[in-house]
Each structure stands twice: as C-alpha cells, then as structure tokens.
Structure 1
C-alpha cells in the first residue's frame, strides 16, 4: 500500500488525489489535509461570490472525496498541529498543494496606512474566510483605487460597484453584503503599469463591467493603440481589447446616467500612498513601454483614494523545514520535487499562474513523477493514516471528516438569505458547533 499525504484541499490538492486514485486504484491511500474544517481552498474563498458556475467544479472534487481510498482531514494545521517531518515519517509521499494565500506587497511609502488592503485580504473578507472576516474596510469615502490589471482586480471593482439586486444568486457573506449596500463609493479607478496589450484580464470577466446596473466603465482613447494593430493579438486578448474599445466609445453623457464610474488608468505606476493615518491619495508615475517593460517617465500625478486594494499577485506561505524560493514566492522545487518524498503542485509549485483547470494536468503530471520515483525506490513500509490517527488522538486534534463537512454545508444552506445558495460560517468555532452542537 502506498500512503500519500496532500496538504491543501483546493483544486491542485483534489486533482492530485484524483490522479493518485486512478494511478494506483485500491493500492493507494490518500489523506487530503486542510487547516480549516471546510474543503476546496480558493473555490470557496477565492472565486468571486457572483461566479457560482465556476464554484460548481467542487462537485468533481466531491466525487473524489467520497471514494474509498481518499480521505479529507480538516481542521489540522500543518506546521502547528503536526510537522512536515512527522508526516514524512508516516507517508511515502507528502505533496504540498497549499496554493499562494499571501499578498505580494507594494514596497512603497504609505503601504501601512489604514484602508490600504491586499486583494487576498479583501477577497477573503467578502468571501467569508475566517482569517479576514474582521477586516471591516471603510467604504464611506467616494474614491476607490484598485491596483492591478488581472481578473482579481476586475472582481474587486465589480463587487464594489454592484447593486444590491445584482448579488442575488451569489454567496457573498452577510457582513460584506451589508457593508457594500451602505457603500458611498462613486469612482473606482483600476490602475495598471502598462497598456491595453499587456492586460491579464479575460474577455468574459472584462465584459461584465459593461453590464453593471449602476456603473459605467471608462477608458481614455489616448491609451488605446491604433485599432488595426489588434490583428496581431492572440484571440483572447483581442476580445479583451475590443471590450476596452467599447468602453472608450461610451459618450460622457451616458456615463453621467449611472452613479458609479469605473475608470482605467493605464501607463501609471504607484509610487506612494499618501495620508495622515488613513489613505487619502495615491501618487503615480506615468510610464512608457520599452521592449514590453514599463519604464517611468519622471512625470507624477495624484488620484484621490479613500480605499486602495492592491491586486498585484500572491505568495505561498513558507513552512518550517521546507526549502523556499523567496524571490519567486513559492517552494523551491524542480518540476514538483522538493526533497526525497516531498513534492509540491499547483501554485505552490509554479506560482500564482494559470486557471483552476491548469491544476488538473499539473496534478496528473506530479503523480507520474511520484510513480516513477517509487518504482525505482527501495521503499520502506510506512503506517500512513493509521499512524496519523494515533498521533492525532494522542494530541487531542479535532479532525473534521468529509461527511462532517457536509453537515456544515447543510447548515450554511439552511441559514441562507433569500436568493443565496448559502450563508457561510466565518469562524472555525461556528463551523465546529455546526458539526457537534453538544460540544
């Protein structure tokens, strides 16, 4: 019997578990660990709450989770409740599928001002992640600045701009829903260092900005290259740029008919956040492109900013005893191999790139490497989950099984407001109470 521990129950973790079950069938036992009592990682706490069709991929992971040789082990903190070294003594292979849950930060003055928030924290706040449930951003100002030109920046801008009715069908948590209903934001500026041809926004998500009930997107015509140059772009980017051209063509008179403007400020790089205690302005330097890179021109300007959300990328959380590449913000590895018997997959391996679906071939490729390693290795017999269960019992760990997670899910569905699929628990104690009311 081959024993595999996978740390992280998001897409990378469950695709890897799926691949292991297909590779070895009944000759493998896979334990999928998560620090929270609930599974699915960024599917639950990263995907925008108004994108329920994307969240539906969890049904595929549920099929894997209910298989006889895969087990969910929730509410276990790796590095605190149990170490990597201890897991390696129990399992033949330990796979880190922990994603990239930490914000990359802008190393500029004023980054520590109040209401300057990283996207991991802001998205976690409106998605109900227990770590960020108490964030309480101040939405009483008129101006929000969102820094970044990827889909996360679009998510943040769209959530800030939506009307109450447009959240019907979403699972945005109650504390965020209530705060957004009272928001006084009138202008949202999306800032990017480069231009339209360098954006990372996908057409579907970008197009949604043009369909909002109470917000109008705006792009400056001067930021757009000649339209005939679009022909050289790959199809996805060409569609995204077409949306930007549509936004630029919206007349000023039409923009004035809706209470919120979503403005694109391209060729601008933030140099400082300004304010006494809370952010009040963003200082930016105008940029130009040199061989595709953004280069400062020395000309600066300022934008009013009562809220700033930085959406400039993510980093993996280091784990004691695991080699880490500080510059890349992920585990140091060669094609997923970190040390003998220790592997990584998904964002923990390659950094925060690709879509949810990208993790499937990544997980399958890693299992092929593990199979190759153990075909040629003189493998010692290890205890796997039986050994872990004894350790957990001795330490008094309150493990959450997948069947118990389903009870949490049922309780969240029962608590949902009208038009919402669920009302998420936003703290671990409440989740545990839903499982064991008498505890």
Structure 2
C-alpha cells in the first residue's frame, strides 16, 4: 500500500517535514516548489507510515486502497510526476528558531488572509513577540473564506491551522478595523516596532478590448466574491437568463467559475455558498460555459487537479475539439519523444481523453477552446457575445500569433478571469507596473533601494497575484524570518507611543472592534444557521449583520 495526495492539496508542505523517507516532492528546498501545482508521493519510496496523513491540514492524503472512485486518477498523477523527478532531491532542513532578546517586540499585521497568518504564526513562536492582526472585515481568513470555491470544503480546513495560531496568548485580533480610515499607517508606525502588510491583491486586471465595460461583462474577482458572500458584493446582481456564458482565462479561478455556473444547485446547497447566489443559480438558464485560452493546452494555468475535477461534475459534459489541441512544434516533438515535463504531459493527456470521450448527452456542458483570444465583447445595451480570433504557432519562435480568422460566440454573460492585481497602500512605495510593493525578502524598499526600517510585506502584495495557500505559507515565513533577523540585528525603530493605546484610540473614533470572542460568535452563528439547512455554514453577508452577531459576545457594547 502507498499513500496518494488528492485534489485538496494546499502545498503548505506540512507533510514534507514529517516524511521519514523524503518521498514527497517538490520540497521547499527544491526550486520548482514555488510554482508546483501540488505535491506528489512517490509510490516506489513510500513506506506506508501514515505520518503525512496526520500532518495534512486539509485531509488530502489517502491510502491507495481507500481512494474514492473520483480520486483514483490521482494514483497516476502522483506516479507520473516521478517519471522525470528524483526523490533524492531537496532533503528538508530542520531550522531552529533563533533566540530573541527578552524585550517585547510589537508587530502590527495588516490583513488576515493566509500570508498574514503564516507570518503571524512564525512570529508568535517567539514568546517576546506580540502580534496584532488588523483587517477591515469583521471576519478573518481572506481568500480562504471569500475566494476558495464553496465546493472545496477540504481546502478550507486550513482555517484550523489559522485558528490554532489565533488562540495563542501573544496574538490579538482587530477585525472590522480599516487601516487608512479607522487608524492611519503613521499611527501604527508610531505604536509598533514593525508593521507588516499582507492585504492581498483585490483589483482585477483588464483585457483592454472594446465592450469590456458593457453590462454583462464582469470581473471574476467580483463574481467569486459574490457567490462566496463577501460583504462588498452581497448586493450584486448577475443576469443568468442566457443559455451560454463565456469565461475568458485559463486559471483555477476560471474553472471554479465555470463549475459554479454548471453544478446542480442542490449540490451547492450542501456547501457554504452564499444564500443570495444559490437563489440566483437555482433560477439560472445557463447550460453551457465556454472557457477561452489564448495559448495552447500545454500553457493552461489551471492545475491538473482542477482540470480533472471538471470531468467529475454530475450531469456535465466536458467538450474539447481535437483541432484545439495543437501544440507548438517544439512541444509536439517532446511529446512524441516522451521527454515532455510530466506535469505538462498529464495536462495534455487529460485534454486528449476529454476530446476522445466526446459529448455524453448531458443537458449542461463546459467547452474548452484553446488558441482562441477575445478581440471584442459584443453588444449594444448589454453583452450579446464575444468576437475571438484563432491563434496559430509562429514556426520561427514557437509563440502564438493571430491567424486573422475571426468568429463570434453568442453569450449573455462574459466573465473576465485573467488575474488579480495589487492596490497601492498609503504610506508604502508601490510599483504600478507590477502591482507590488518593492521589497527584498519582504523588507519594504524605499526610493533609494534601501530597506525602510520596520516596514514589511507578505503575500500577493509582496510577490504579485500568483500562487496558492502553500506558496503564501513560505512567503509569510520568509517575511517573518527577515523581521526576526532585524530584531536580532537591532535595526527596528523604537515606537514613540504604546500599542496599548490602540483600543482607546479606536473607541474614541466610534470604531466597533471585532475581537477573538466576536469572531467566535460570528462563526458560531453561521455554523448553527448552516446546520439548520444541511450546510457547513450559512454566511452572514452584510457588515451590519456580522457586527450584530459579534456583539452577542459583548452585549454591553451594543
């Protein structure tokens, strides 16, 4: 028997550190870890000890003889990885936490998503460090709560790791507090030795084509927030009366959106999907979702795990035209020689299997179209379709170029899923071209290229909007490590005021802070409401409603 890693894999590498035979790769010591789709267990090396199962925070690892039928393809995905990867590489290194001075170090963390929590978790390992986490929403967990698809319930179990960190005595919540409005950057700098921003990348990228602003053309960032119950989007309304939607993009978010539009609402009802979204999806007329990719199947930015899951949606056909599976001459030769990278090879194999299977006669279908780029979104008063151009490979460079062949696809909804982008933060330098704060290992760099003492970033604001939960773990830990090194080096500034002034300062401004007890009350209320309807939780989707639930923990504050 061997163990197998399946779809919920979060890449946080908790399993790697406990494996006694180094059979899980890539490890954080290997260069490709930062871009890996998931982690893989070598079936030839695994000794069936089960240590990885206990360590996995999202319950993604199973014995091969206990796999559910839909998870059986992961046996091959795990084995295929080791066709061109070596289990001898990247032996995990045990790193001891450095000893800090006994004097207290006060750190403000702005943001409460994965990168923020992983940085905070690393910092509070040191008893002398006090971490206060600020977030403008009354709820923590960032994109784990508001970005991970509702049907990815196991992936959301990483929240248990975050909750464990939040229970430490040297951790404190300031939820429902917006830095820049309720308290300024300068006021934090004056009260903390260090301020670490991990506030994410919430803006959407633009296509820059005609018709992009028509009603019915929407950003995936907004649509995802809507069906996940983000308070900023609870009142959004989407017209789902057409029978076809087009999703522009080839990443995991694009596939999540397609899956939500096509999944039977009765199945979604058993998830934590927002009630308003579920009601709209029950009334939806959409029966086909076309997913457009500008480049070839080999360049799909979604993971094999997510691509595989599209074929498991009950009542939905996955349709791919063989003609859309053209490869560049270079890659076609690698496939023929069986020398193609195993991850890319698996992606091509899965696509070819979908194409060979053809349509199964289901009422709903998802159509993947590769080498197809949008040139205009069509419509007068609202979206009526998309004009696309077929791309071909330039024989000299292997790059895709427009062929000049143009077609139109009728659609009543177009969802642009081409990525997130960071937003400038008051008090920090910002690179508009890259959408990140200039930094070195998380240390914010000033205009002169030197670190700004006491200023740090982590997550998407640090490196750009790419990578998932596991990437954010090591990103947050790297920043925390830089901060700890600066403590030891004695380069952090001394606060002019005390962090203990913050509650009084916020109260004087009429800010109702949601603390750990308040969040626990919200969590409890949502879970109780969920149990009544057979779902994990029913999210409260307004700021007022969240604050009302939080007040039950402190009745005297109402």
- TM-score, normalised relative to structure 2: 0.75
Q: Name the CA distance, whole Å, in 1 between partners of 2:207 and 2:217.
A: 10
1:33 aligns with 2:147: no
The residue that corresponds to 1:241 in the other structure is 348
3-state DSSP of counterpart to 1:271: strand
Residue 298 of structure 1: how far off its partner (Å): 2.4
Q: Name the CA distance, whole Å, in 2 between partners of 1:108 and 1:138.
A: 22
Contact residue 128 and residue 426 of structure 1 kept, 8 A? yes
Q: 1:389 aligned to 503, 509, 534, which one?
A: 503
**Residue range with higher mean Cα deviation, 10-19 or 237-246:** 237-246
The residue that corresponds to 2:174 in the other structure is 73
Give CA-to-partner distance per residue, 1:177-228, whole Å, 9 cap, x none.
1111111112110001000110011122111111122210111101224787
Q: Name the CA distance, whole Å, in 2 between partners of 1:366 and 1:378.
A: 15
The 3 A distance-change label for structure 1 pair 421 and 292 is farther
1:89 aligns with 2:190: yes
1:174 aligns with 2:275: yes
1:306 aligns with 2:409: no
3-state DSSP of counterpart to 1:298: strand
Give CA-to-partner distance per residue, 1:259-294, whole Å, 9 cap, x none.
112111111111111111210011112222344543
Q: Name the CA distance, whole Å, in 1 between partners of 2:431 and 2:514.
A: 32
Give CA-to-partner distance per residue, 1:137-164, whole Å, 9 cap, x none.
1000011000111110100000100012
Contact residue 194 and residue 492 of structure 2 kept, 8 A? no
Give CA-to-partner distance per residue, 1:323-353, whole Å, 9 cap, x none.
1111111222233222321111111100111
Q: 1:51 aligned to 145, 152, 161, which one?
A: 152
The residue that corresponds to 1:156 in the other structure is 257
3-state DSSP of counterpart to 1:329: coil
1:63 aligns with 2:164: yes
Q: 1:330 aligned to 436, 440, 456, which one?
A: 436
The residue that corresponds to 2:385 in the other structure is 281
Contact residue 16 and residue 366 of structure 1 kept, 8 A? yes
Contact residue 194 and residue 289 of structure 1 kept, 8 A? no
The 3 A distance-change label for structure 1 pair 307 and 379 is closer
The residue that corresponds to 2:56 in the other structure is none
The residue that corresponds to 2:117 in the other structure is 14
Contact residue 454 and residue 492 of structure 2 kept, 8 A? no
The 3 A distance-change label for structure 1 pair 293 and 128 is farther
1:219 aligns with 2:326: no
Contact residue 296 and residue 371 of structure 2 kept, 8 A? yes
The residue that corresponds to 2:544 in the other structure is 429
Contact residue 517 and residue 550 of structure 2 kept, 8 A? no
Structure 1: gaps (5+ residues): none
3-state DSSP of counterpart to 1:52: coil
Give CA-to-partner distance per residue, 1:213-270, whole Å, 9 cap, x none.
2210111101224787443333333222222111101234x2xx21112111111111
The residue that corresponds to 1:402 in the other structure is 516
3-state DSSP of counterpart to 2:440: coil
The residue that corresponds to 1:321 in the other structure is 427
Contact residue 202 and residue 237 of structure 1 kept, 8 A? no
Q: Name the CA distance, whole Å, in 2 between partners of 1:192 and 1:224.
A: 11
Q: Name the CA distance, whole Å, in 2 between partners of 1:384 and 1:237.
A: 53
The 3 A distance-change label for structure 1 pair 384 and 285 is farther
The residue that corresponds to 2:292 in the other structure is 191
- TM-score, normalised relative to structure 1: 0.95
1:359-378 alignment runs, 5 A limit:
359-378=472-491
Give CA-to-partner distance per residue, 1:88-110, whole Å, 9 cap, x none.
11111111101111111111111
Q: Name the CA distance, whole Å, in 1 between partners of 2:398 and 2:533.
A: 48
The 3 A distance-change label for structure 1 pair 348 and 371 is same
The 3 A distance-change label for structure 1 pair 233 and 384 is farther
Corresponding residue pairs, total: 434
Q: 2:455 aligned to 342, 350, 353, which one?
A: 342
Q: Name the CA distance, whole Å, in 1 between partners of 2:323 and 2:283.
A: 35
Q: Name the CA distance, whole Å, in 1 between partners of 2:398 and 2:132.
A: 45
Contact residue 269 and residue 278 of structure 2 kept, 8 A? no
Q: Name the CA distance, whole Å, in 2 between partners of 1:232 and 1:135.
A: 48
Contact residue 453 and residue 492 of structure 2 kept, 8 A? no
**Residue range with higher mean Cα deviation, 324-333 or 126-135:** 324-333
3-state DSSP of counterpart to 1:331: coil
3-state DSSP of counterpart to 2:277: helix
Q: Name the CA distance, whole Å, in 2 between partners of 1:134 and 1:292.
A: 46
Contact residue 202 and residue 420 of structure 2 kept, 8 A? yes
Contact residue 4 and residue 384 of structure 1 kept, 8 A? no
Contact residue 123 and residue 484 of structure 2 kept, 8 A? no
Question: Pairwise CA RMSD of aligned residues?
Answer: 1.7
3-state DSSP of counterpart to 1:263: strand
**Residue range with higher mean Cα deviation, 185-194 or 327-336:** 327-336
